[in-house]
């Protein structure tokens, strides 16, 4: 699936800029940037259950370990 998105991004950028050597480098840079963004979003989605568990654990820890106000 990732390869298909990469090819579609390259084709779209070539259509928008024309097929020259400069547009090839622009297309490769843009495809690399967008591909990296897609990978990061995918990693966050994959780790989302663990992130939620960590946030719940942090909330419980802070709720039960409040500092004493009796000074």
- For residue 67, the number of C-alpha atoms closer than 13 Å in the C-beta half-sphere is 2
Q: How far lies 46's CA from each of 2, 7, 49, 58, in Å?
A: 16, 24, 8, 20
Phi, psi of 60 (to 5 degrees): -65, -40
Mean pLDDT of 3-22: 78
Query: Is the entire prediction scored with pTM above 0.85?
Result: no
Place of tokens 């995918």: 42
Mean pLDDT of 56-60: 95
Range scoring the smallest mean pLDDT among 29-33, 50-54, 59-63: 29-33
Per-residue pLDDT of 21-51, as tens digits, reads 887 888 788 878 888 898 899 999 999 999 9
Mean pLDDT of 52-69: 90
Range scoring the smallest mean pLDDT among 4-13, 27-36, 54-63: 4-13
Cα 29-31-36 angle, rounded to 5 deg: 95
């Amino acid at each position: 699936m990732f390869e298909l998105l990469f090819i579609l991004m390259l084709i779209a950028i070539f259509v928008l800029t024309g097929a020259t050597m400069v547009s090839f480098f622009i297309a490769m840079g843009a495809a690399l940037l967008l591909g990296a963004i897609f990978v990061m979003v995918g990693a966050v989605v994959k780790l989302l259950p663990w992130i939620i568990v960590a946030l719940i654990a942090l909330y419980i820890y802070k709720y039960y370990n409040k500092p004493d106000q009796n000074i």
